[in-house]
Chain A
């Protein structure tokens, strides 16, 4: 069964940092692009970042460019999102999703940025 399991969400102060992880199983992780998508409380879905199969091709939403870094470790079947200089507006559930057109979603991990 194809599964994605996010972890690392926490309460963090504004200006702080956090690293999210997404463990993948049930498919050949190294063959698929991966994404992070977030959903602020009571709001809609917002694409955050995408990484290609080898990790050398990345894209970011303007709202996180320069602050967030997406990466992957194909030997560990794991996707990451390093989040720096966090702001209140980054508060959201963060989902990892498989493939450019998001055919599989994880259960999400909650990031709360507040003092």
Chain B
């Protein structure tokens, strides 16, 4: 079946602009996660959804970052007033929802802020 998909694959924007990154999880997966990966580093947790609600948003770096999942499937990560330091690969993952489950990752969106 289809895996996790993310769009766009690449996004170049100017400092100060607003961007939206989209994630389509595997069908039937109730848990959805966003991570951010800087060059040469492992991914860092941003936010976790169980269904429509954000169960843990402790990894969001500041209030410029926001994520939604209104119908419990597709999620959008929103970044306001982008800064050069926001440049990274943003990864989305989904799982069936239990702690023991494997997280399946999408290909990521590479965000470049000029």
- Do A and B associate with each other? no
Q: Residues of A at under 8 Å CB distance from B?
A: none
